[in-house]
Structure 1
Amino acid sequence: MLLEKALLEKSDLQKFNMYRHLKSWESRTFTINDLSRATGLSYQQTYNSFQDLLVDLRQLTPELKNIKHNALLEARTFTVSVDQYRLFLVENSLAFMFVDYLLHCTEPTLVAFCETHFVSRSTFFRKINGLKNLLARYGLKFSYANLNIKGNEANIRLVLFYIYWLVFHGLKWPFKTVDYAAVKQQQAHLSQGMQLNELQILQEQYLLGMCATRIKTNHLLSPQADHLFPMPMIPYPVPDTLDLTEHQIATEYGFYQFYQYTGCTFTDTPKTQYFYHYCQEERNLAWQFVQELLGFFSQCCSAQLIHQMNADHVLITNLLRLATRIQYSQQIAPVAADFVEQIIQPAQHHTLAQQLTNFFDSIAANQQMAIFMRERLGMREALLQILLPYASELEKQGTLHIQLLIEDGLTSYLLESYLTTLPITTILKPQQKGITPDLIITTLDTTLLPPTTAPVFSWPLCADDNSYFVLWHRLKDIYQQKTL
């Protein structure tokens, strides 16, 4: 998990990774060699890390001190859950202790923190480097003169919420200055009529607890644009301990609704339908962005695929949510998936990534889309994740369709082998109907070909490296013309 890499030191990461493997095994016993193979560490590194792991687990389960040595190599001996061990490691990490200090302290100073934890400034800066990089993804940074997190308050709250949710995961209430009973009552009032499961209820309680903690330390939200998402007319209950004006209460309620409507989900819930129809009726900027995206793909994809995508309300709603998050925060806003290892990377879907780059180039002159252009790099990553169910179809239909009219033999074998290695080409089958080729490659004299609107590329029987080089540049030119 990316969050663990940001908060834990290398030795703690090794222990945590080892424990995850250990807890996932079904075999009754294991050896140090088993752990070594699973973690990729040397035998000596594994042995040392396992001994350190035992020290931690004995703190969590004191009865381990009385267990015989042989029993320590039995999986059933370890009763601590993975979540519990993660929480133990993170709570004892300097990076998290610093976050927790900033969250709860009304007048934090770097000197006081370093003195309390007996660390030098150089050690402190080294140990929070991963955390700094995580915050920077969302335009956030630490200010050390007046110790604080600087940046968009909505993004600060979301980052802190996801950190605390993923670390504590319902194991205990982490917000020391906020009454849990009051938050439970507040959440129950706000979720009237919603069908939430236990997990969703806990998440909302953590979000509300985070917001209350930030308010208590005088970190308030800035007003946001209207009509980005529905605002049901439910009075927003505020605990008596929070002194807010009516305008500030309305802004807090807006943030709660922002969280409700803009987190990606992959099930067709009533909330998904409600947000989809709201954007459709408003014809707001998020809706216009999605129409621009589908219009771009319609230039290189079949009408059937575009119709299928348009009919997929879950897909369209997730695209609308992404665009709305950008509008609300005026920059990339975090979602839960950002804090775990990504399912796909741009390199794994090079063609789709390039198509998305070309899409943003196509809207560069549209002033209405300026906010999306500014955040295009982060949006491209998010779009890759959202479009994953359609990635193979989009990439296949976004490629060049090549028709070969060449002698069957070594020449055709070498050329076909080359073309199949390229991510931007698809070879049409002989006599394939319904698809107009983007390029015809032939060894025939062009005067012998039947009339065609497709460009023709003459291929020599004695092709050399230069022939392939010239062909590649021709293919690249046609591909850019097709996808721009």
Structure 2
Amino acid sequence: MLYEELMLDPSLLLRFNIFKYLLKTEKPVLSISQLSEDMELNYQQSVIELNEIEEELKEIESDHKEIMMRAGKVNIQNIKISVDEYRYHLLKKAVPFQYILYFLNEEEPTIEKFCEKYFVSRSTVSRKIDNLKKHLKHFNIRFTYTEAGMSGDERLIRMALFDILWLGTRGIDIPLNIDTEILDSLINHYSHYFPLSRTYFGTRELRLFGALFLARVSKQNFAKYDPRYNFLMKDNPYYDFSSLKDLVNFEMTPRQLKGESSFIYFIAHYAPFYTIREDSSLKQAIHDFSARPNAVNDFVNEFRSFAKKVLFPDKPGVMDDPLIIGNLLNITFTFFVYRQPFPNITSLVFAPAKNQTQGGYVLEQNIMNFMQSATENPSFNFINSIHGLLGKSFKQLLLPYFNQFPYSDNLKVAVALEHNAIFVRDIYQFLEDLRFVDAEAYDTSARDDYDLIITSSSILQKEKPNLKIFQIDYTNEDLVPLYMNLRKIYDEKNFVNK
């Protein structure tokens, strides 16, 4: 399920979807009838929900100007709130989000105190967090109630909490009761380990990671050191295990300091963070993963050799790109450590594709064949239980680099414009720049098998209503919607069922 479906109950989710619809419309004024039709709601239901949205916008913005107009209209221009701000406002009314913030911030959280504070019954809490509970169960994380919180691997809990809080706030706020001066000291000290610190949003993500560290550790929820880190971190001077104790205002045992320090460094490697080739942390990671014998580096090198021959025979240098190498190492290292599914923010943002292009299918099958054969190698037994998940992660990383065109059918596009070079010159140039389009002048004698016909007149549609027609004027304003139309048809033509 996507994030909002996990966190919002049906009534809140409906208003969120209506609000997104309002922001996406290009009309300054929208009829409620049109909204009802597009959202598949009855008119009265739309009015009720819009009035609720109106009241919520007033709660967010004191000088909000009303969006509801007479004659069944909505004034879109009066919406000054972003979708992120509105989502966050709704989440603060949603039981799952309330419960998480409650046990993170309260000194002695219990389910009874939570129910009393938010005027809900225990059965209501159980019902409204059910979707989130099922989601977390995939990672062996469970909610606790006697003492409100979560149980499971503390590292996985923090990753899950990060996803939930980040997608709810998108950097707008850090809704945790923590000491910001200590947080600043932590970030300043550890930022150079993190590629995140070099980007605008990454710095905000890093602050949330740090805030979660403080919130959890201050309540004696500690991450343990994992011996699977040894080849990377043990006796490696790059990873400093002594300074954390001087950055916080609470006591930790040597074992706790080691576990928490190691988890900070692990977080720097747990996702394909690398986007800048000159990043010093990328160079350090490639060096450290290759400095000592280990299964992670061996596996990535084995995969790179395979990919050069099978996936990229015409451009094997792709697999020598430091960005590719560093991100493959990070992905593999996380699976090497966990050997089970772990929280993945992309799965809460992108709906699972029902189908994929032929080229994507070819790439995935080749990678899965490699993964299956690798399970037979005793040196790579760490992938046995997760080779399918690892293969999909590799595919997502490499798909933008993979040449899908040999496995795809180009679109057959006809141009039916006035017989004048000045009219047709720009459109032909535009189509020639698209690798997936074969364009020609419309053949009136025989051709009804075009994927799309581009024309400046409606007459062709009247004569042959079954043809796919895209009508244009003589301005460049049509080129963007034309591209989107072409891309949609191309994807549909080349989709294969999973």
TM-score calculated relative to the size of structure 2: 0.70
Q: Cα distance 1:66–1:24, how it changes in 2: closer, same or farther (>3 A)?
A: closer
Kept in 2: contact 1:238–1:249 (CA 8 A): no
SS at match of 1:174: coil
- 1:269 to 1:32, Cα distance in 2 relative to 1, 3 A: farther
Q: What SS does the corresponding residue of 2:384 show, helix, strand or coil?
A: helix
Q: Distance in 1 between matches of 2:299 and 2:353?
A: 23
Q: Counterparts in 2 of 1:118-197, with a 5 A limit?
A: 118-144=119-145, 147-176=148-177, 178-191=178-191, 196-197=198-199
Instruction: Report what 1:232 is aligned to.
Output: 238
Give distance in 1, aligned partners of 2:318 and 2:308.
11
Alignment of 1:368-387 (within 5 A): 368-387=379-398
8 Å contact kept, 1:228–1:328? no
SS at match of 1:83: helix
The Cα shift of 1:303 comes to 3.6
Q: Is the CA contact 1:352–1:395 (under 8 Å) kept in the aligned structure 2?
A: no
Structure 2 residue aligned with 1:48: 48
Match of 2:93 in 1: 92
Quote how far apart the aligned CAs of 1:182 are.
Answer: 2.0
Preserved CA contact (<8 Å) 2:307 2:319: no
Aligned to 2:295: 285
Gaps of 5+ in 1: 398-484
| Distance apart, 1:396 and its partner CA | 4.5
Q: Evaluate the alpha carbon distance shift between residue 336 and residue 282 of structure 1 in structure 2; reply closer, same or farther with a 3 A threshold.
A: farther
Computed over aligned residues only, the root mean square deviation of the Cα atoms, in angstroms, reads: 3.2
Deviations 1:456-484 (A, max 9, x none): xxxxxxxxxxxxxxxxxxxxxxxxxxxxx
Q: What is the alpha-carbon distance in structure 1 between the residues aligned to residue 44 and residue 237 of structure 2? A: 59
- CA drift of 1:33 comes to 3.5
- The answer to whether the Cα contact below 8 Å between 1:173 and 1:180 also exists between their aligned partners in 2 is no
Structure 1 segment 200-219 matched on structure 2, within 5 A:
200-219=202-221
Counterpart CA distance in 2 for 1:257 and 1:88 is 33
SS class of match (2:29): coil
- Equivalent residue for 1:244, pick from 240, 252, 269: 252
Within 2, Cα distance between the matches of 1:132 and 1:260? 27
Q: Is the 8 A contact 1:309 1:316 kept in 2?
A: no
1:180 deviation in Å? 1.3
Compared with structure 1, are the counterparts of its residues 232 and 25 closer, same or farther at alpha carbon in structure 2 (3 Å cutoff)?
farther
Number of residue-to-residue matches in the alignment? 395
Question: Which runs of structure 2 are paired with 1:247-262 in the superposition (5 Å)?
Answer: 247-262=255-270
Question: In the alignment, what sits opposite 2:443?
Answer: none
Q: Deviations over 1:146-183 (max 9, x none)?
A: 6442221111111112221221233233111x111221
CA contact (8 A) 1:364 1:370 kept: yes
The superposition leaves residues 365-407 of structure 1 with CA deviations (integer Å, 9 ceiling, x where unpaired) of 333322222123432332231122245559949xxxxxxxxxx
2:201 corresponding residue in structure 1: 199
Question: Per-residue deviation at 1:279?
Answer: 1.9
The 3 A distance-change label for structure 1 pair 292 and 145 is farther
Matches within 5 A, 1:387-466: 387-393=398-404, 396=407
Secondary structure in 1 aligned to 2:340? coil
Per-residue deviation at 1:300? 4.3
Residue aligning to 2:283: 273
With over 3 angstroms needed to count, the CA separation of the structure-2 counterparts of 1:5 and 1:66, relative to structure 1, is closer
Change in Cα spacing, 1:231 to 1:11, as seen in structure 2 (3 Å) is farther
AA aligned opposite 2:56: D
Change (3 A) 1:391 1:47: farther
Residue by residue over 1:248-270, the C-alpha shift from the partner in whole angstroms, topping out at 9 and shown as x without a partner, is 22322222222223322344241
Find the counterpart in structure 1 of residue 271 from structure 2. Answer: 263
Does structure 1 conserve the Cα–Cα contact (< 8 Å) formed by 2:272 and 2:327? Answer: yes
Deviation at 1:98, TM superposition (A): 1.4
Partner of 2:319: 310
Q: C-alpha distance in 2, partners of 1:248/1:49?
A: 50
- In structure 1, the partner of 2:8 is 8
**Is structure 2 residue 367 aligned with structure 1 residue 366?**
no
Where 1:73 maps in the other structure, the secondary structure is: strand
| Alpha-carbon shift at residue 311 of structure 1 (Å) | 2.0
Greater displacement, 248-257 / 348-357: 348-357
Gaps of 5+ in 2: 409-498
Q: Residue 143 of structure 1: CA displacement?
A: 3.8
Tell me the alpha carbon deviations over residues 57-116 of structure 1, each in whole angstroms, 9 at most, x when there is no partner.
122234447777349722221112211111101111001111122323454333333343
